[in-house]
Structure 1
């Protein structure tokens, strides 16, 4: 494999068997008794890491203001500190993953502006200046709490092309955070980014349709080889609906609850990914801070596998692979 650049930082030793917890990080949702119990229940599927994921809001895909300071829609720094400390008590490594969402429901991948600045219109630089302040604040927080990995962005497909700004952001993050840095590209984008050398770890959302894992792993392999570093599927999973394995990234897909469909998909996905030598690990989507009762599992049709057949599948894979 290609030798990674000298500045690359490695993930800590041991398996990266992760669960994303606490999304979307609304203020007050991470410090309740229910939230603590949820994280304890999460350990039943044998994760070694937790990805603490939360989202600040902007009003529209063309807004240049991100509401992250004292926003009632975003967990506080103290909530992040407390969740990370609880994860440590449970023996978990911690990844911080601040991201942005659009208040009107537009997917963050569509955040974007004119390629060439136009007077009176919002610009990429205005947005990136705001985004950089948000990310740098949380990178400093990641350093303070000793986070084991920091993610500088998630599924920002239109923004991905702004290579200079991402390189500058990654460099500034390294000035305040001493651990490894990653960026979470969207599915199908692994071989399209041009600045993977600016981060330590390539990571992607692995929501690939059932039956297609071999072809996508074959497509991604040369990217990892060229990068010379480590690779994660930092998001992956499937709702427990009969239709979802065909399009596991679509949380609005119509279907009936089907925990076996989810279990079969998770088994296929974890067999393919954790059985691939250059895949360092997987973070599953997702485990809510306010967890439904276990007996409601069979009727729940979301990504969380608590109280479903999929929980045993995950526990088996995570426990079996050192």
Structure 2
């Protein structure tokens, strides 16, 4: 083989390695009241995940209340700064990379996208307390060298009503944290989020409706994605940023693809095939696209041996047939 041909093959290999990108194959690692050990982390490794979201929480009394309580001894260990650090360090020790994704819990589980103050004074108070919450964990993200930091989760009214605050907050975060940034916009919010150009990923909590069927087939779900996929790509192209599914997943219930965001416990008719097929269609639709960075499955509990199972109707894939689908898919992405 002559020198020119060798050089040509070398350049092809370099170009392929430069253009190929390992997908983010992550799990949303749910906080608990105890520290984690290898027993809790090993199942994440065994499902072939390469990332995990660790989620500190702040708490707010109602949708119009301006004070966020966070990092107190009254909340679970895994929701606090100390716990997030311990969880992240334990995951990183096993080769799992980290996104820190602070979230707000409104009393009685009301939707955070509706948080909206009634007076300018309350808006200022909310901004101050939110900055305290977020900058606390931006500092931790820098301390532990987290790969990604999420600046907020499903806060559409807050973002829409206070754009100048969010622009300033992003600048403050960047003074503290030097890694990659995203924001977790709800599936029906991301098209209007105003600050994507300032972040590294367009984050989407991807609970898009894809089928009205009781047990949707993979083919039905693929057709359902044909409505949403061009819009998602259009936003990616507009801002020249990759899409990251900051959350995605389906419950193991009837009509899993109809309104995937619903978590009501009254929906309790177990349908494992519906969860399998919706998950397969999502993987098939997005993971091969170069403008798609990957995502984080919702949700993964630390006590793997005692959660999920074939009688469970909730989101977790653990100890259900879909866990093997995810494991196999993640293996293919290595």
- Shorter-chain-normalised TM-score: which range? 0.7 to 0.9
The equivalent position to 2:263 in structure 1, one of 251, 264, 286, is 251
1:292 Cα deviation from its structure 2 partner:
4.9
Aligned equivalent of 2:154? 155
Aligned equivalent of 1:175? 175
Aligned equivalents of 1:292 and 1:54: distance in 2? Answer: 23
> What SS does the corresponding residue of 1:319 show, helix, strand or coil?
helix
2:74 maps to 1:62: no
The equivalent position to 1:273 in structure 2, one of 286, 300, 312, is 286
Aligned equivalents of 1:44 and 1:69: distance in 2? Answer: 31
Q: Deviations over 1:268-290 (max 9, x none)?
A: 11111212221111111010123
User: Residues 66 and 117 of structure 2 are in contact (CA less than 8 Å); yes or no, is this contact kept in structure 1?
Assistant: no
> What SS does the corresponding residue of 1:104 show, helix, strand or coil?
helix
Which structure 2 residue ranges, 5 or more long, are not aligned? Answer: 1-20, 211-220
User: Residues 274 and 282 of structure 1 are in contact (CA less than 8 Å); yes or no, is this contact kept in structure 2?
Assistant: no
Q: Deviations over 1:157-185 (max 9, x none)?
A: 21121211111111100000010111110
1:71 Cα deviation from its structure 2 partner:
4.3
Aligned equivalent of 1:241? 253
Aligned equivalents of 1:284 and 1:201: distance in 2? Answer: 17
Aligned equivalent of 1:136? 135
* Farther-moved stretch of structure 1 (304-313 vs 270-279): 270-279
1:18 Cα deviation from its structure 2 partner:
0.5
Root mean square deviation of aligned Cα: 1.8
1:216 Cα deviation from its structure 2 partner:
1.0
Aligned equivalents of 2:288 and 2:311: distance in 1? Answer: 31
Matched residues, number: 298
TM-score between both structures, scaled by the size of structure 2: 0.84
User: Cα 1:218–1:259, aligned 2, differ >3 Å: closer, same or farther?
Assistant: same
> What SS does the corresponding residue of 2:243 show, helix, strand or coil?
strand
1:228 Cα deviation from its structure 2 partner:
1.3
User: Residues 48 and 92 of structure 1 are in contact (CA less than 8 Å); yes or no, is this contact kept in structure 2?
Assistant: yes
Aligned equivalent of 1:19? 27
User: Cα 1:69–1:19, aligned 2, differ >3 Å: closer, same or farther?
Assistant: closer
User: Cα 1:160–1:19, aligned 2, differ >3 Å: closer, same or farther?
Assistant: same
Aligned equivalents of 1:163 and 1:176: distance in 2? Answer: 21
Which structure 1 residue ranges, 5 or more long, are not aligned? Answer: 1-12
Larger radius of gyration: 2
Aligned equivalent of 1:185? 185
Higher helix share: 2
> What SS does the corresponding residue of 2:290 show, helix, strand or coil?
coil
Aligned equivalent of 1:39? 41
